[in-house]
A and B are shown apart, each in its own frame.
Chain A
Amino acid sequence: MSEIRIKVPFEPGAAEKLKSGDTVLLSGTIYTARDAAHKRMAEALERGEDLPVDLTGQVIYYVGPTPAKPDEVIGSAGPTTSSRMDAYTPALLAHGLKGMIGKGYRSREVTDAIQENKAVYMVAIGGTGALLARKITASKLVAYEDLGTEAIRRLEVEDFPCIVINDSAGNDFYESSQQSFAND
């Protein structure tokens, strides 16, 4: 399987070129956010306020890292289950978000919003937080510090490995890959 090297945040039109099943290596800047940060961002949007970060072309990584040891950039940092962010995701996609990294299935509302906004949903290998942390070269806290591990951080990544699950054409890699091995 060939690997596609791509810069993040995405250049205009870049996210929609990625196809379900592609292996991609992301380099550049991404933001972390999980349950509590999503809830706060959704509440900010409801109140008509700005988000703490500009999401245009950006990628959100669903992760709550372990604390960094004194000699480390970040602790263990693998993906968490994406479906818990489903309720908040269409609103963020409408605000310019172009990519998400997590693990597991997305709702129909989210996959529809991915198509509408020409975005992409990718997964990293769950439970390989020690390995994935090696692809993160910098981490800076940017919002919601009181949330601890759930705060928003800006990460610099280099060749961060992901697999595209839901693409802007409506394909779902989980569906196609599982079907080919099912025996029931």
Chain B
Amino acid sequence: MKVIQYTEIVDEVSRICQEANFDLGEDVVNAFKESVKTETSEAGKSILNQLIENADIATSNRVPMCQDTGVSVFIVRLGQDCHITGGKLEDAINEGVRKGYDEGYLRYSIVDDPITRSNTGDNTPAVIHIELVEGDALDVQMSAKGGGAENMSAMKMLTPSAGLEGVKDFIMKTVREAGPNACPPLVVGIGIGGNFEVAPYLAKKSLFRPVGERHPDEGIAALEMELHESVNQLGIGPQGLGGNTTALDIKVETAPCHIAALPVAVNLNCHASRHKHFVI
């Protein structure tokens, strides 16, 4: 059985929280560069170029690319043959967030209570999902998820007669209504199936796949490409100022569901699609 120290997790979490905010992934930057070539709006091209320049400044100066340094969302795959010593896993993650957001001069964006709203002053608590898996590795994925795009995300309990057309209509409606508010060009994460809490989690999880990577299932991959094309016909464009780059990519994940149900969730990610990963 592998033994993992609490402090090792704290340090790794702190590191990826900072990296997520300073170093936009190559997948996203490449998507900007490809989009500049295909964007038909001059204003849209100019915005995409500014996003590339902004990402460069963030990396070279070690400053956050966006002032909304996000809710820290973690998807943890904990090998069942792995033993964590020195403290609780959730505490280690929260301590890592506290350390990373402090040392990196990142913004504290969490309030302790949704009604009384007092800032916790350290960006904790993080949102932590833990899945138990085979093996002895601790696999941690982190997303710095901005509030603007999260606010424009939506889920709907469709019923089976709505079919795939109903699902597509809901996705298009959600992206159209989000318009400039969600900071396009977007990465659109879609969860279809499961139940009331599973569909949004699938949508969130789908956003962790690199931009440009297709789903391994051919049918789902084809749906992703079809949706991507449709979304880019909406005209919203970069920052909602018109153009054909409304989304950089669309991700779909599905799960079995009840005979009465067809849940669909659309989790929007702004162009600052910040995802980092470590394995111990």
Q: Which residues does A use to contact B, with CB under 8 Å? A: 1, 36, 63-69, 72, 75-78, 80-81, 83, 103-105, 123, 125-131, 133-134, 147-150, 163, 173-174, 177-184
Contacts and interface: CB of A to CB of B under 8 A. Distances in A.
B64 A129 contact: yes
A75 B41 CA distance: 31
Contact of B51 (A77, A127, A163, A184): A127
B51 A75 contact: no
Contacts of A65: 67, 107
A76 B41 contact: no
Contacts of B108: 148-149
Nearest to A84: B151
A180 to B, nearest CB: 6
Contacts of A75: 63-64, 67, 105, 107
A183 B176 CA distance: 13
User: Which of B40, B53, B57, B179 has most A Cβ within 10 Å?
Assistant: B57
Interface residues of B, number: 50
A181 B107 contact: no
Q: Is the interface of A mostly helix, strand, loop or mixed?
A: loop
5 contacts: A1-B43, A66-B106, A67-B107, A80-B147, A125-B51
Contact of A148 (B42, B119, B151): B119
Nearest to B53: A131
Given A130-B58, A184-B234, A178 B240 contact: yes
B243 interface: yes
B210 interface: no
A1 B66 CA distance: 26
Interface of B: 40-43, 47, 50-51, 53-54, 57-58, 61, 63-69, 105-109, 117, 119, 121, 146-148, 151, 179-181, 183, 230, 233-237, 239-244, 270-272
B63 A181 contact: no
Contacts of B57: 130-131, 134
Given A126-B239, A148-B119, A179-B235, A103 B183 contact: yes
User: Which of A126, A148, A149, A181 has most B Cβ within 10 Å?
Assistant: A126
Nearest to B271: A127
A128 B238 CA distance: 12
A81 B68 CA distance: 11
Contacts, number: 162
B69 A66 contact: yes
A36 B180 CA distance: 22
Q: Is the interface of B mostly helix, strand, loop or mixed?
A: loop
Contacts of A64: 67-68, 107, 109
B237 A77 contact: no
Nearest to A183: B233
B164 to A, nearest CB: 18
Contact of A105 (B50, B69, B181, B241): B181
A128 B271 CA distance: 10
Contacts of A179: 235, 242
Contact of A76 (B42, B65, B236): B65
A126 B270 contact: yes
Contacts of B148: 80-81, 103-104, 126
Contact of A104 (B40, B47, B64, B179): B179
Nearest to B230: A184
Given A76-B65, A76-B66, A127-B66, A181 B179 contact: no
Contacts of A81: 147-148, 151, 181
Contacts of A181: 40-41, 235-237, 242-244
Given A78-B68, A173-B241, A181-B40, 20 more contacts: A65-B107, A66-B64, A75-B63, A75-B67, A76-B65, A80-B68, A80-B148, A83-B181, A103-B181, A125-B50, A126-B270, A127-B66, A127-B146, A129-B67, A148-B121, A149-B119, A163-B241, A182-B233, A184-B234, A184-B235
